[in-house]
Chain A
């Protein structure tokens, strides 16, 4: 079974802090994704990576950056957390043209 793990289930940070969210997949997938999910808005793509060191902006990249130094790991970075970044963050991975496998999610609260 494909396993996608995220570093934390719940995280509380203060405004202005730098926040790292880590995602690891164990099935050698080329593609990895970071989404945020908010009530009434559904899932929105923040960033996408299709290979090591390659990244592509999604629909809402402002305020976020990403890093993919190894194929299995995709990190989401909030350079200076703000309260409007309080959300559920979901990571996913896939092979080209195939279904996406999701991690359990990180519920981030920024105070």
Chain B
């Protein structure tokens, strides 16, 4: 079974800083997801990627399949980016099940 590790667990930044959150997994995957959870519970899918890089606004996600590693970057961070960011992977083999990391809690101070 895949194991997903995220780092750091907690991250505090000043507004405007460049943020990087890392995710490593142990077994080959068909896709990796980055999710965002704000206080109050709602989870939103940010990216789904299986290779390369994707960008949406100030968010960039990259994945290195050979190294089994992905990063989520936030440029020009803002207090509204404060949330828990969760990495999840879908194993090869056609299953729709996801294996989740424990999340990274980001706090951006003004």
Contact = CB atoms under 8 A, between A and B. Distances in A.
Given A50-B96, A102-B42, A104-B41, A42 B101 contact: yes
Contacts of B44: 102
Contacts of A41: 102
A45 to B, nearest CB: 6
Interface string B27-66: 0001101010000111111001000000000000000000
B96 A99 contact: no
Contacts of A58: 97
A42 B96 contact: no
Given A100-B33, A105-B42, A107-B41, A48 B102 contact: no
A2 to B, nearest CB: 10
B96 A31 contact: yes
Interface string A80-111: 00000000101010101111111011010000
A31 B97 CA distance: 10
Interface residues of B, number: 20
Interface string A16-51: 000000000000000100000000111111001010
Instruction: Provide the main secondary structure of the chain A interface.
Output: strand
A96 to B, nearest CB: 7
B11 to A, nearest CB: 17
B102 A40 contact: yes
Instruction: Provide the main secondary structure of the chain B interface.
Output: strand
Contacts of A90: 41, 43
Nearest to A100: B45
B100 interface: yes
Contacts of A88: 41
B98 A45 contact: yes
Nearest to A90: B43
Contacts of A104: 40-42
Across the A-B interface, give the 10 residue pairs with the lowest CB-CB distance, nearest first.
A105-B41, A102-B43, A99-B45, A42-B102, A43-B100, A99-B48, A42-B100, A31-B96, A104-B42, A45-B97
